[in-house]
Amino acid sequence: MQQVLNGIFAGSIYALFAIGFTLVFGVLDRLNLAHAAVFTTSAYVGIELVADLGLSIWLAIPAVLVMGAVLGLVIERVAFRPLKGRHDAHFAGLISSIAVGGMFLALLQARYGPDTRRFPADAFPSTDFELGGVRITLLQLVILGVSLGLMLGLAYLVNRTRLGRGMRAVAENPHAAAVLGVNVDRVTATTFAISSALGAVAGVLLAFYVNSAQMTMGFNIELKGLAVIIVGGMGSLKGAMIGGIALGLAEVFAVQYVGSSWRDVVAFGLLFGILLLRPQGLFGARQVREV
Amino acid sequence: MLGDYTATLTLIALTAIFAYSFYAVLMAGQLSLGQAGLASLAGFSATVVMPDSPVVGLSPLVVGIPVGMLVGACVAFLLGLPVMRLRGVFLAIATLGFAEMVRIVLINAEWTGGAQGTSVPKLVTPGIAWGCLLLVAYWFWRLGGSRFGRGLAAIREDELAARAMGVHISRYRMAAFVTSGAIAGMYGVLLAYFSRFITPDDFGFAAAVDGLVTAVVGGSLLFLGPLLGSGFLTSVPEIQRALGVEAGWIRPFLSGLLLLVVILFLPGGLSSLIPRWRTPRLDPSIPAPELPALPPPGTSVLSLKGLGKAYGGLHAVRSVDLELGSGEILGLIGPNGAGKTTLVNLISGLSVPTSGTGTVLGIPLGPEGQGHRFARAGVSRTFQHSKLFDRLTVLENALVGAHVVTRPTLLRRLLWLPSARRDEQRALAQAGAQLARVGLADRAGVNAGALSYGDRRRLEIARALAAHPTLLILDEPAAGMNHVEAQELSTLIRTLAEDGITVLLIEHNVRMVLETCTRIVVLNFGGVIAAGDPATIAKDPVVIEAYLGSDGPADSRV
Amino acid sequence: MRIRTASVSTAAALALLVTGCASEDPADTAAPAPQASGGGGGSGEDCVIEEPVPVGAALSLTGAAASYGQSQQKGLEVALDDLAEKEGVTYELAIEDDATDPKQGIAVFEQFISREPVSIILGPTLSNAAKTTDPIAQEEGVPVLGISNTAAGITEIGDYIFRNSLPETAVIPQTIAKAKESLGLEKVVVMYSNDDAFTESGFTAFEAALEEEGLETVETLTFSKADTDFRALLTEAKAAQPDALVVSGLIEAAIPLVTQARELGIEVPIIGGNGFNSPQLMADAGAAAEGVIVGAAWNSASESEENAAFLEAFEAKHDGKPDQFAAQAYTGMMLVDAAVRAGCSAERDAIQASLGSLQDIPTPLGTFSFDNREPQHPAVVQIVEGGTFTVLD
C-alpha cells in the first residue's frame, strides 16, 4: 500500500511534466526538448526563493509558474517562431530547442554553480499522518493536490474557454484556424507558455519531493516524459495524466517484483510494448489522413 | 602541426561516422534514436570476438569492424521488424526506448564489466578512422545519384506519392535502417578501440542526441553533411580552448548559441553552404529506352466486382462493378464526397477494400502496403492535391516516376561499372522525354517546390508518365486550370490514349470529361448511378438530377 | 584558463581571461615540446627553479560531474596560494575542462602532452575518463596524478600513473568492522547505484567486507546514479527489517536517500563510503543525517597542523567548507611540489621518479606515502553527531 502511494506521488509529477510536453505536441505537432531545461531551472529558482528569500512554498509555486510561462514564451520566440513555414521545421525544432535548453543550463550553472542545491533542512513542517501502517507527509498531499488541480484547470481551459477552442482549432488545422480568425501566433505562444508553466511547477514540486535540484535532473525526466506521452497517446492530455501515474506505479512494482536493477527496463519495455500493440497510445485517436 | 591534433582529427572522423548512421535514416525522412544502443552492442560484441594478435598481418580490427557492423545490421533488422511501421516521433521514441533497454541490460550483464566497463587495447589510428570514414562517405556519395538514393529521397518528401511511383516503402525504409545499424556498429567498435575503454554509459540518451545534432547541423540533403557537422561540432570546444575562453559554463553556453544560429540561419544545415555544382544534364542524343509494348486495345485492364470501402460505419464506396479495357479513356464523375478518390486509392493499391474483389492488370486488390506492386504492374497516377517531391528538382521528380522501368544501380555505381552509367542515362532520357511531352523540359533543374500551380499539375502528369504506365489515373488534373490549359490537357490525354495508354480521368470539369472520354461512369453516395458514352450520360435524367443539375446548366448542355 | 601562483585572486583570474591568449604564446610557456621544462639548482627546500613549472589539471567543470570538478578546482587554487608563499619554485597551473566527456578528456590530454606541454597532469575527475586518457600519458612518458580516481585498474595502466585517492577497498573493510563492533549489527540491506564505476566498486568492497565480518545481507537493491526519489526502494528495505542500511552512492544520492529514509520511519544506522564524505550531508540533510556512519579517506575533523591550515585557508578563500574532493586535490598539488623539490627538476621523468619515492609527507589526509604509486595513508570511520563528523571509536 505504501508502495502504491509512492507510485502515485512520483507519477503525479511525471504526469504534470508530460502534460506540458504533450500539450505542445498535440497543438503544434512539435517536440520541445527544452522542456526539461525549464523543469530544471524552476527547481533551482524555487529553491532560491524558499531558501534565500524565505518565501513560503505557497508563494514559490505561483512565482515559478509565472517564470515558467515567461521561459515558454522565450523558447517559442527563439527556437520555434523563426522556423515557421520551413520545410525541415520538424527536425530543426528538435535541434533548436536542444540548443536553447543547453543555454538555459549553462546560465543556470553560471548563477548557481554545478552543485546540487537543496532546501534548508527545516524548510517545511514535517507533519505526517499514519493511516493503517502507511505514512503520508503533508508535502506529499500538497504535491498531489497541486498536480491534480493544475491538470483539471488545464482540462477546463482546453475544453471550455475561447483560448481552448483556439488551441483545438490550431491543432486540427492551422491554416483553417487562421481563416476562421484565430490568431495562430498568439495561440502558439500561449500554448508554449502554459506548457512551460506546467513543466516549471513539476520541476519545483519534484525539488520539494526529493529535496534536491541538480543539473542532470532534466535528462532523466525527459526520457520518462517521452515514455509517458507515448503510453498515454501523443497529444492526449488525459493520456499523459494516466500514463504518468501508470509509469510511477510500474516503476514501484518493478522494484518490488522484478528487482530494482531492471526497473527502467520494465518502464521502457512497457513503452515498447504499447507502441507495438497500439501505436497511437492508450488514449490517442488514430489519425486518418485522406489523400 | 597536424600531428599535435591527432586525437581531435580522429574524433572528427569517428563523430562523423556516427552522424552518418543518423544521416542514413534522415535521408529517408526517418528519425531514429536507437543508434547508440546498436553501437554499444556492436562495440561489446567486438571485445568478445576480436583476436589479440594480428590476423594475417593485419590489425585485429579486420575482424572486429565487420563483426560490429554485422551485429549492428542484424539487430537493426530485428528491431526494424516491429518498429518500422511507426513514423516520425513515434519511431524516434521507440528506438530510444530500445537503446535505453540495451544500456540497462548491458550494465547488469557480467560479460560487459557493467558500470566498470571493459578495457581494450588502442588499435584505431587516425588513418584507420579516416579510412573507415571515407568508405562510409563514398557509399553515401554513390548512393546519392542511384535509383535507391532517389527512392529514399522520395520517401522523405512524400511517402504516399513514393509508394504510388512503385517504391517499395517498407523494404527501402528497412534497408536504410539496417545501413544505419551497420554504420552505428562500425562506430561502436572504432570508439572502443580508440578510447581503449567501453562502458554502456557512453551510449546513452546524450550520445544519441549528440549524433542527431551532428547529422542535422551538417544537413541531411547532401552526403557531405555529417562530415561538416562533425568537423564543426568537434572543433568548437577545441577552438574555445585555443581562444582561451574560460573553462566553465560559458563554453556550453557559446556552443548552444552557435548551434542555434546555425539551425536558424542555415536551413538545410552546413551542407547548404556548398553550391550544387552539378545537376544531371539531359543528353538529347540518347534515345528513350525501348520499353515493353502496351497491351493491344480491348484487353481487360481493370475488373471490379462488388467493391466496397467502409471507414467505421461510413461507406465511402459501396458495391462498385467496373470493367475497363485497354485504350479506353474512362471518365469518373460525381459530386464532392461521392467516393471518387477513395475508389481511385483502392485501384492504385494505396488503401485496402473492405468488401468485394477486383483485379488490376492481373494483380488482385489485396493487403496493405502492396501499393508498389500495382505500380510495377503498370498503374500510375496523379493526385488531387499535388504530391510532388518539393525539394527535388523537376527532373529528379520525373526520375522517381521512372522507378519501375529502371534497374537498381547502387551496387554497380559503387564499382563504377559503365553499365550503371548507361542505365542512368536511359532513365534520364525516359524522364526527359516525359518532361518534354508536358512542356517542362526547360525547367528540369528547378526545385519542384518553386513551380507555379499549373506547372505543378503538369509535372504530376509527367512523373506519372515516366513510369510507362498501362493504366494512367488522373485525379482532377484540370483543377485550377483555365479554359485554354484545360483544352491542351484534353488534347494531351487523347494523344496518350492513341499511344495505347488506358486513362482513368476523374474531373469536376464536366465539359472537359464529355469532350475527352470514350466512356463515363457517374458515382454518387459511393455507388454507380449511371454509366455509358458521353452522349448518353449528358442526357441521363438521373445524372442531371444528382449531379449535373447542381453543377449549373452551362456545363451540362454540351 | 591560466593561473600564475604570483597573481591568483578572483579578479586576477578574470583579468587573465582577457590576456589568456597572450600568455599561451610558446615563448611564454615553460619549455618546447615534447619534454617540459629544465632543471634547477639545489634540492628540497633550497631548490630554485627559474621558470615556472607547468602543471595541467584535466577536470570536469561542466556536465554531470561538474560539482566534483569545481570542488577540485577550488582545492587546487588554495594549494597554489599556499605554494606561492614558499621560495624557489613557482607553478603555472592550466586548468582545462573535459565536460565530463571522455572523448574531450582525450583532447585535453593531447593538449597537455604536446601542444602546451606540462610537467605533470592532475586528474581527470572520473575514473572512466582516466581509463581512456591515462594510457596516452603513459605512452608519452608524462606523469599523471589522479586526485579522485578510485576504480580498480588505474595505476596498473603504467609506471607514470599515480593516484592519491584511496580506493574503496582501503576504506570499507575497516568501516564495516568498526560499525559491527560498536553497533552489534547482524543483518543489513545493501543499496548501491549500479551504473557508476565508483559506486559499483564501492559495492564490491562492501560485499567482500560484509562476508568477511559474517554479516547477513538480507536484500540488495540497486538504483541509478541519477535517481533522487528512493521511496520505493526504501519501502522495500524497510520491509526487510535490517539492523543497518549499507549504501554505496554519491553525495547527490546520499542526501535524498538519508532524508527519505528517516521520513519513511527507517531509524536504523546508515553506513556509507567515500561518496558520503561531504559537509553537505549535515548542511542539507540536517537532523536526518544524525547517526550516519561514513568510512572515508579524509578525516575532516582531523586536528593535524596541515589539516587545520587547509581548512582555514579554504574557508578564507572560498566561503564554505571543503569536501573530500577539495582536500585530495589540495594534497595532490602539495605532493607535486614535494616531488619537484625533491628532485629539484621540472623534467617529467624526474618528477615521475621522485613522486614514486615520496615517503611520510605530512598532508591534510594524514601522513602520506606512495607504495607502488598507490596512496598509503590512514582512513577514518566517522559518525555524524550533533551536526558534525566525529571519529567513530
- Residues of A with CB below 8 A from B105's CB? 265
Instruction: Among A25, A78, A226, select the one facing B96 at the smallest CB separation.
Output: A226
Nearest-angstrom CA–CA distance, A228 and A245: 9
Nearest-angstrom CA–CA distance, B350 and B353: 10
- Reference A117, options A52, A33, A35, A186; nearest CA is A52
**Secondary structure letter of residue A136 according to DSSP:** E
Predicted confidence (pLDDT) at residue C7 exceeds the cutoff of 50: no
Torsion angle (degrees, nearest 10) of CA A45, A203, A153, A138: -90
| Three cell numbers, residue C264 | 519513511
What average pLDDT score do residues C140-168 get?
Answer: 92
pLDDT value of residue C10: 39
What average pLDDT score do residues C34-60 get?
Answer: 76
CA B74 to chain CA centroid, nearest Å: 22
Predicted confidence (pLDDT) at residue B45 exceeds the cutoff of 90: yes
> What tens digit of pLDDT does each residue of C355-367 get?
999 999 999 999 9
- Report the amino acid identity of residue C93: L
Q: Cβ atoms within 10 A of the Cβ of C67, count?
A: 25
pLDDT value of residue B370: 72
Predicted confidence (pLDDT) at residue C6 exceeds the cutoff of 70: no
Domain locations in chain B as residue ranges: 2-204, 300-378+469-552
Nearest-angstrom CA–CA distance, C314 and A167: 56
What average pLDDT score do residues B422-448 get?
Answer: 88
| Three cell numbers, residue A100 | 536553447
CATH fold of B300-378+469-552 = Rossmann fold (3.40.50)
| ipTM of the predicted assembly exceeds 0.95 | no
| Three cell numbers, residue B316 | 465511402
CA distances from B196 to B54, B193, C133, C135 (A): 17, 5, 9, 8
> What tens digit of pLDDT does each residue of B64-82 get?
999 999 999 999 999 999 8
Q: State whether C197 and B7 contact (CB < 8 Å).
A: no
% of chain A beyond a pLDDT of 70 = 95
> What tens digit of pLDDT does each residue of B486-501 get?
888 899 999 999 888 9
Give A11's contacts (C-beta < 8 A, 6+ positions apart): A244, A245, A246, A247, A248, A249
- Chain C residue with Cα closest to B234: C104
Q: State whether B195 and C106 contact (CB < 8 Å).
A: yes
| Three cell numbers, residue B340 | 471518387
pLDDT value of residue B129: 96
Nearest-angstrom CA–CA distance, B129 and B120: 17
**Residue B297: cis peptide before it, omega within 30 degrees of 0:** no
For residue C23, name the pLDDT band (cuts at 50, 70, 90): very low
Q: Which neighbouring-strand residues pair with C201?
A: none
Q: State whether B220 and A87 contact (CB < 8 Å).
A: no
Burial (CB count within 10 angstroms: exposed 0-12, middle 13-18, buried 19+), residue B550: exposed
> What tens digit of pLDDT does each residue of B204-246 get?
888 998 999 999 889 888 899 999 999 999 888 888 888 888 8
* 3-class DSSP string for C236-269: HHHHCCCCEEEEECCHHHHHHHHHHHHHCCCCCC
Instruction: Among B104, B197, B238, select the one facing C107 at the smallest CB separation.
Output: B238
Q: What is the rounded end-to-end Cα distance, in angstroms, of chain C?
A: 44
What average pLDDT score do residues C28-42 get?
Answer: 47
Instruction: Tell me which range, B303-307, B375-379, C144-148, is most confidently predicted by mean pLDDT.
Output: C144-148
Q: Which of residues 230-249 of C touch A (CB under 8 A)?
A: 231-233, 235-236
Predicted confidence (pLDDT) at residue B1 exceeds the cutoff of 70: no
Instruction: Look up the CATH number of domain C2-166+303-376.
Output: 3.40.50.2300
Helices (H), B27-164: 35-49, 61-83, 88-108, 126-144, 147-157, 159-164
Predicted confidence (pLDDT) at residue B252 exceeds the cutoff of 60: yes
Nearest-angstrom CA–CA distance, C343 and C40: 9
Q: Cβ atoms within 10 A of the Cβ of A142, count?
A: 17
What average pLDDT score do residues B257-285 get?
Answer: 78
Nearest-angstrom CA–CA distance, C322 and C315: 8
Among B81, B85, B100, B340, the residue to mutate for chain A (most A Cβ within 10 A): B100
Work out the minimum CA distance from B84 to partner chain A, whole angstroms: 10
Predicted confidence (pLDDT) at residue B554 exceeds the cutoff of 70: no
Instruction: Tell me which range, A187-196, B257-266, B453-462, is most confidently predicted by mean pLDDT.
Output: A187-196
pLDDT value of residue A261: 81
> What tens digit of pLDDT does each residue of C109-125 get?
999 999 899 999 998 99
For residue C28, name the pLDDT band (cuts at 50, 70, 90): very low
Q: State whether C195 and B200 contact (CB < 8 Å).
A: yes
Query: Any idea how long chain C is?
Result: 393
- Residues of B with CB below 8 A from C96's CB? 241, 247
pLDDT value of residue C319: 83
What average pLDDT score do residues A198-220 get?
Answer: 88
Predicted confidence (pLDDT) at residue C21 exceeds the cutoff of 70: no
Work out the minimum CA distance from A129 to partner chain B, whole angstroms: 37
Whether the CA torsion C235, C236, C241, C244 is positive or negative: it is negative
Q: State whether A264 and B93 contact (CB < 8 Å).
A: no
Q: Which neighbouring-strand residues pair with C191?
A: C221, C247
For residue B548, name the pLDDT band (cuts at 50, 70, 90): low
Instruction: Among A109, A212, A252, select the one facing C66 at the smallest CB separation.
Output: A109
pLDDT value of residue A289: 32
- Reference C162, options C369, C365, C310, C341; nearest CA is C369
Whether the CA torsion B546, B550, B554, B555 is positive or negative: it is negative
Q: What is the largest CA-CA distance in chain A?
A: 62
| Residue listed under C-alpha cell 598481418 | B57
For residue B372, name the pLDDT band (cuts at 50, 70, 90): confident
pLDDT value of residue A265: 84
pLDDT value of residue C206: 94
Q: Cβ atoms within 10 A of the Cβ of B88, count?
A: 14
Q: State whether A100 and B100 contact (CB < 8 Å).
A: no
Predicted confidence (pLDDT) at residue C4 exceeds the cutoff of 50: no
Helix (H, G, I), strand (E, B) or coil at C146: strand
The answer, for A278 touching chain B at a CB cutoff of 8 Å, is: no
Q: State whether A94 and B216 contact (CB < 8 Å).
A: yes
pLDDT value of residue B230: 94
Cβ atoms of A165 and A158 closer than 8 Å = no
Predicted confidence (pLDDT) at residue B558 exceeds the cutoff of 70: no
Give A273's contacts (C-beta < 8 A, 6+ positions apart): none
Q: State whether A94 and B345 contact (CB < 8 Å).
A: no
Predicted confidence (pLDDT) at residue A135 exceeds the cutoff of 90: no
Per the model's pLDDT, the better-predicted residue between A276 and C209 turns out to be: C209
- Residues of A with CB below 8 A from B390's CB? 87
Work out the minimum CA distance from B469 to partner chain A, whole angstroms: 21
Q: State whether A88 and B390 contact (CB < 8 Å).
A: no
For residue A122, name the pLDDT band (cuts at 50, 70, 90): low
Work out the minimum CA distance from A146 to partner chain B, whole angstroms: 29
Q: State whether C194 and B119 contact (CB < 8 Å).
A: no
Residue ranges of chain C assigned to CATH 3.40.50.2300: 2-166+303-376, 168-296
Nearest-angstrom CA–CA distance, B443 and B455: 9
| Residue listed under C-alpha cell 502496403 | B369
- Residues of A with CB below 8 A from B250's CB? 106, 110
- Residues of B with CB below 8 A from C110's CB? 4-8
CA distances from B131 to B17, B138, B364 (A): 11, 10, 49
Predicted confidence (pLDDT) at residue C20 exceeds the cutoff of 60: no
Whether the CA torsion B359, B361, B367, B371 is positive or negative: it is negative
Q: What is the pTM of this model?
A: 0.89
- Residues of C with CB below 8 A from A6's CB? 231-232, 235
- Chain B residue with Cα closest to C201: B116
Of A225-234, C155-164, C293-302, C371-380, the least confident: A225-234
Predicted confidence (pLDDT) at residue C163 exceeds the cutoff of 90: yes
> What tens digit of pLDDT does each residue of C188-204 get?
999 998 888 888 888 99
Nearest-angstrom CA–CA distance, C131 and C140: 15
pLDDT value of residue A123: 66
Q: State whether A290 and B341 contact (CB < 8 Å).
A: yes
Give B388's contacts (C-beta < 8 A, 6+ positions apart): B157, B158, B161, B397, B448, B449, B451, B456, B459, B460, B463
Q: For C189, phi and psi rounded to 5 degrees?
A: -110, 130
> What tens digit of pLDDT does each residue of C231-240 get?
889 999 999 9
- Residues of A with CB below 8 A from B264's CB? 82-83, 92, 96
Cβ atoms of A200 and A44 closer than 8 Å = no
The answer, for C285 touching chain A at a CB cutoff of 8 Å, is: yes
pLDDT value of residue B278: 56
For residue C278, name the pLDDT band (cuts at 50, 70, 90): confident
Q: State whether A265 and B101 contact (CB < 8 Å).
A: yes
Of B11-20, B332-341, C31-40, C266-275, the least confident: C31-40
Per the model's pLDDT, the better-predicted residue between B22 and B545 turns out to be: B22
pLDDT value of residue C16: 38
CA B460 to chain CA centroid, nearest Å: 17
Cβ atoms of B399 and B467 closer than 8 Å = no
For residue B59, name the pLDDT band (cuts at 50, 70, 90): confident
Q: Cβ atoms within 10 A of the Cβ of C358, count?
A: 16
Cβ atoms of B393 and B162 closer than 8 Å = no
What average pLDDT score do residues B375-393 get?
Answer: 89
Annotate A162-190 with DSSP letters as a single string. HHHHHHHHHHH-HHHHHHTT--HHHHHHH
Cβ atoms of C381 and C168 closer than 8 Å = no
Q: Which residues of B touch C (CB under 8 A)?
A: 3-8, 11, 104, 107-108, 114-117, 119, 122, 195-197, 199-202, 237-238, 241, 243-244, 246-249, 251-252
pLDDT value of residue A284: 65
Q: For A51, phi and psi rounded to 5 degrees?
A: -75, -40
- Reference C68, options C310, C285, C322; nearest CA is C322
CA distances from B316 to B354, B360, B477 (A): 11, 20, 22
Domain locations in chain A as residue ranges: 12-218
| Residue listed under C-alpha cell 587545520 | C308
Q: State whether B252 and C62 contact (CB < 8 Å).
A: yes
% of chain C beyond a pLDDT of 70 = 89
Cβ atoms of C334 and C361 closer than 8 Å = yes
CB pairs A-B closer than 8 Å = 135
Q: State whether C132 and B195 contact (CB < 8 Å).
A: yes
Per the model's pLDDT, the better-predicted residue between A3 and B227 turns out to be: B227
Q: What is the largest CA-CA distance in chain C?
A: 68
For residue B277, name the pLDDT band (cuts at 50, 70, 90): low
Q: Which neighbouring-strand residues pair with C187?
A: C216
Q: Are strands C2-4 and C91-97 parallel, antiparallel or unpaired?
A: antiparallel
> What tens digit of pLDDT does each residue of B101-139 get?
999 999 988 888 888 889 899 999 999 999 999 999 999
Instruction: Among B8, B199, B248, select the one facing C61 at the smallest CB separation.
Output: B248
Nearest-angstrom CA–CA distance, B462 and B450: 17
Q: State whether A83 and B264 contact (CB < 8 Å).
A: yes
Q: State whether A256 and C226 contact (CB < 8 Å).
A: no
CATH top-level class of C168-296: alpha beta
